[in-house]
Structure formats: structure tokens, C-alpha cells
Amino acid sequence: MTTDPLNDPAIRAAAEAWHELVDQVASCAETARAADPAKLPVTNDYLPARDLMYGAAESRILHEAHSAAERFAAAVDLSGLRETIKSEPGMDELALLGSVAMLRGALLQVREAVGQLDRTFPGEVRDPE
């Protein structure tokens, strides 16, 4: 019996995860426009990663969104979140920190969905990159 791809739960979950990631990239890009990186714990790659994310948000191309999301998420350090909040950044910066957390969650959902696809269709799934 052949599985109908439109009704396969693993394929539907992967499609939903990818759409959520693209939406989170767009949301994070919009939030990043207002945030001041000088008030945030960011790497030297922040501005190039942000610009890449702007382009991915406009194109809404899956592989571009995935690459941009990973790069931008890595450019913002959330490990010292409590200290960052104590330093009283502005509302735009706090919004961006929340958006980055959501972006990381969307990346995790994509990884999990691709893993499930690989288990459902062994040898037929390629890495999203």
C-alpha cells in the first residue's frame, strides 16, 4: 500500500514545521529592525546575519530561511538572559530576545520533523541544508 503524501502525518508535520520556521524568520526580521544590537549580547556576525534574515524573510524560500535562521539564532546569545534583562534593555530589544527564542524553537521543530521523515521514509530524506 502506497502512502498518500498529502495525508501522511510525517509529511504534514514537516510541512507545518517548515511553514512555522518561515513565519518565525519573517517575525524575527521585523522585530530585529527596531532593536538596537548595542543593547544586546550579540556576536560580530549579528549585522550580516540580520541582513541575510531580511532577505530570507522577503523571499520565503525554505532553504534560505533555514540557513538565515540558524545563522541569526547563533548571533544572539541567550545564555545570560537573566543578566541581559537586568541590564534593562528597551522593549524592542526584549521583543527581539523573545523572537530569537521562538526562532530557535522553530528550528528545533524542523529538526524533529525531518528526523521523523527520515524514520518514516528511510534513505529518502535529505538534510534541509
- Going residue by residue through the chain, which has 129 residues, state the pLDDT in tens, using 9 for 90 and above: 455 667 888 889 999 999 999 999 999 999 999 999 999 999 999 999 999 999 999 999 999 999 999 999 999 998 887 888 888 889 999 999 999 999 999 999 999 999 998 888 887 666 555
The helix/strand/coil state of 19 is helix
* Pick from 11, 41, 40, 20: nearest CA to 103: 20
pTM score, two decimals? 0.87
How many beta carbons lie within 10 A of that of residue 5, not counting itself? 11
**Dist. CA 4–CA 91, nearest whole Å:** 47
**Dist. CA 19–CA 113, nearest whole Å:** 12
